[in-house]
Amino acid sequence: MKNIIKSIIAITVLLQACTKNVLNKPPLDSYTDASVWSDLSLTEAYADNLYNILPTVQHNWDNKSSRSWALSAACDEGYNKFNDYNESVLNKGTLTPDNLGIFDIWSMEFSNIQNCNTFLSKIDAVPGDSSTRKRLKGEVLYLRAFAYYMLVRDYGGVPLFSKPFDLNSDFKASRSSFDDCVNFIVADCDAAANLLPVNYASSDAKYGKATKGASMALKSTIFLYAASPLWNSNKDASKWQKAADAAKAVIDLGAYQLYSGTPYCQLFVKSNPELIMVTLKSAKYSNSYTDFTGIETFLAPNGFHGWSSFAPSQQLVDAFNTADGKLITDPTSGYSDQNPYANRDPRFYNDILYDGRPFGNSAYCQDRYSAGGTNACQFYEGGLDSKTGFDNWNYSLTRYSFRKYQDTTFNFNTGLGASNHFWVISRLSEIYLNYAEAQYNLGNNTEAIKYLNLVRQRPGVNLPALDGSLSGTDLFARIQNERQVELCLEGHRYYDVRRWKIAESTQNAGCRGVTITLNGNVKSYSYGVIQTRAFNSPANYLLPIPRAEIQRTNLQQNPGYQ
């Protein structure tokens, strides 16, 4: 019996030794806390992932990319046929705290901010090269600023956090004022600017990462928002001064020049000195059917086997000046709505695909030739790009498509050959226009006109200079028009009509398009609303905070939302 007890004890001891190995099973598919925050290369891999904060050219049908394309369809710039980002709830004026769907970025951005805060709380203790550490810290400060910038322009003032939460944190918080948020964002931009190099050459391995220039550009933009009517109801001129100074500081860096090459459309497909900050996306994953990321397919007319997913509105088309720099509403402009595409701002031909415009490499759209057409768009009724043409469920309701951002390497015969693309976060002409708007509001019309002209007279655009005597609402109309045209499809218009508080008129006008009828050789153009739209003022100037958040916090809902 003794022996038995002895052997049982021996077996138990032996088993206990085994048991330790049985239960010691660390994860094999991931890194642990300890390794990420002690190895600078892993820390950088963590920081690189935070670049997902920035809007992207990729069409992923998620709320990550809803702050690029979707914005054009949610304002008078364009129309999205397939309601890809749930922007129809905005266009119909039926927005509630319950139905934002993937247009909502609240939760995602705060998650990004938490990840930035985690990084910022750890980075100082990571051993290794101090210049890398410094750079990474600057990049993440810029990205946190950008995340807050995205939040405040949608929701107004939001809670501000600079420390990461854990399960034991006090979760209570309240909304900071818009101005406090602006100060927070600016502080991050300033801190980032101090830590980062001015700029990277496009060949640099770090091109596309945050820089001093990018941080200062973001500061310029957020100050412009802060000074605008939506957030500056008592017309505080010092806010305009800050906006002007911030824009001028970017200009004075001397690191950027307006794109001087031709054609102008290359500005959006090839790296160039005008670009201050871009988000790069590789075509590597764009070719497969399942990813839906190829923007050529996404934008091109149905006659090219594209989807016309985002189509320019008639309003945008009408915003392009005539070739002599006049608004088409100007009776002296010579514009005729029955010959609408002649003699227009050269940017029109670079940004828009309209009826009759040849597009793309003729070898890459052979189906059109087999069907007796050419690479010239046929948006007229019965044409290849009309609702009786190829893949007719994809025809453009406005009868336009975007040319901007597309390149001609895409082979529509095969649906393959998408190339690398970037989304513009900041570029110099936006800064010029920020500066012009700020100077106008400070009463410095000459300075404002000077920078408008710089944009309009650049090589490849070459519009005549604006009348130097322009002032008041006429000048402001020109500033608004210039932003509408120059920055179209870059996600600015949606916010511009809000900060200028003109969205109720631009939205309620509906989305307009054209119908082109061919009688013999004569085309006639009739214009009309292709989608009625509604805008509830003042509610729709901001998005509602999602109900899920209101139900768990004491945050104040935005006005007009129940």
Q: Which of residues 198-217 bind other proteins (CB under 8 A)?
A: 202-209
Binding segment (CB under 8 A) for other proteins, from list 103-111, 129-137, 451-459, 481-489: 103-111
| Residue 390 contacts other proteins per CB under 8 A | yes
Structure token digits, residue 497: 């009509």
Structure token digits, residue 494: 């949606």
Residue whose pair of structure tokens reads 């500005």 in the numeric block: 267
Q: How many CB atoms lie within 10 A of CB 480?
A: 19
| Residue 176 contacts other proteins per CB under 8 A | no
Measured CA to CA in angstroms, residue 490 lies from 22, 72, 378, 486 at distances of 56, 8, 26, 9
Tell me which long-range contacts 435-439 makes (C-beta under 8 A, separation of at least 24). Answer: 435/220, 435/244, 435/247, 435/248, 435/251, 436/479, 436/482, 437/224, 437/243, 437/479, 437/483, 438/223, 438/224, 438/227, 438/240, 438/241, 438/243, 438/244, 438/247, 439/244
Structure token digits, residue 157: 């003032």
| Residue 64 contacts other proteins per CB under 8 A | yes
| Residue 522 contacts other proteins per CB under 8 A | no
Q: Between 477 and 529, name the residue whose CB sits nearer to other proteins.
A: 529
| Residue 166 contacts other proteins per CB under 8 A | yes
Q: Between 168 and 473, name the residue whose CB sits nearer to other proteins.
A: 168
Min dist CB 5 to other proteins, Å, is 12
- ∠ CA 28-113-183 to the nearest 5 degrees? 160
| Residue 125 contacts other proteins per CB under 8 A | no
Q: Between 327 and 518, name the residue whose CB sits nearer to other proteins.
A: 518
Q: Judged by CB under 8 A, which of 10, 15, 237, 342 binds other proteins?
A: 15
| Residue 261 contacts other proteins per CB under 8 A | no
Footprint on residues 469-508 left by other proteins (CB under 8 A): none
Q: Between 248 and 533, name the residue whose CB sits nearer to other proteins.
A: 533
Binding segment (CB under 8 A) for other proteins, from list 183-191, 336-344, 415-423, 446-454: 415-423
Q: Between 82 and 349, name the residue whose CB sits nearer to other proteins.
A: 82
Dist CA 176 CA 173 (whole Å): 9
Instruction: Report which of 117, 123, 103, 78 is spatially closest to residue 403, judged by C-alpha positions.
Output: 78
DSSP-derived secondary structure for 429-456: HHHHHHHHHHHHHTT-HHHHHHHHHHHH
Min dist CB 484 to other proteins, Å, is 23
Min dist CB 424 to other proteins, Å, is 14
Binding segment (CB under 8 A) for other proteins, from list 130-138, 158-166, 222-230, 438-446: 158-166
Q: Judged by CB under 8 A, which of 159, 261, 273, 356 binds other proteins?
A: 159
| Residue 106 contacts other proteins per CB under 8 A | yes
Q: Between 63 and 484, name the residue whose CB sits nearer to other proteins.
A: 63
Binding mask 539-558 for other proteins (x = CB under 8 A): -------xxxxxxxx-x---
Q: Judged by CB under 8 A, which of 530, 541, 543, 558 binds other proteins?
A: 530
Q: Which parts of 168-300 fold into alpha helices (H)?
A: 178-195, 212-227, 237-253, 295-299
Query: How many residues in the shown chain lie near other proteins by CB under 8 A?
Result: 122
Contact indicator for 87, 73 with CB cutoff of 8 Å: yes
H or E element in which residue 493 lies: helix 493-499
| Residue 10 contacts other proteins per CB under 8 A | no
Dist CA 392 CA 307 (whole Å): 9
Dist CA 289 CA 268 (whole Å): 24
| Residue 131 contacts other proteins per CB under 8 A | no
**Which pairing describes strands 421-427 and 275-281: parallel, antiparallel, or unpaired?**
antiparallel
Structure token digits, residue 39: 């190895």
Binding segment (CB under 8 A) for other proteins, from list 44-52, 355-363, 471-479, 490-498: 44-52
Dist CA 71 CA 87 (whole Å): 8
Which backbone phi and psi does 47 adopt, to 5 degrees? -65, -40
| Residue 158 contacts other proteins per CB under 8 A | yes
Nearest-10 Cα torsion for 75, 80, 86, 89: 50
| Residue 388 contacts other proteins per CB under 8 A | yes
Binding segment (CB under 8 A) for other proteins, from list 17-25, 432-440, 463-471, 516-524: 17-25
Q: Judged by CB under 8 A, which of 121, 131, 162, 169 binds other proteins?
A: 169
Min dist CB 478 to other proteins, Å, is 32
Contact indicator for 174, 159 with CB cutoff of 8 Å: yes
- Please say whether the dihedral angle defined by the alpha carbons of residues 96, 102, 103 and 105, taken in this order, is positive or negative: positive
Contact indicator for 454, 439 with CB cutoff of 8 Å: no
Footprint on residues 298-327 left by other proteins (CB under 8 A): 305
Q: Judged by CB under 8 A, which of 9, 92, 443, 468 binds other proteins?
A: 92
Min dist CB 112 to other proteins, Å, is 7
Q: Between 130 and 552, name the residue whose CB sits nearer to other proteins.
A: 552
| Residue 191 contacts other proteins per CB under 8 A | no
Q: Judged by CB under 8 A, which of 71, 113, 185, 224 binds other proteins?
A: 113
Q: Between 174 and 194, name the residue whose CB sits nearer to other proteins.
A: 174
- ∠ CA 90-68-556 to the nearest 5 degrees? 50
Footprint on residues 419-448 left by other proteins (CB under 8 A): 420
Q: Judged by CB under 8 A, which of 130, 167, 254, 329 binds other proteins?
A: 167
Binding segment (CB under 8 A) for other proteins, from list 186-194, 342-350, 354-362, 379-387: 379-387
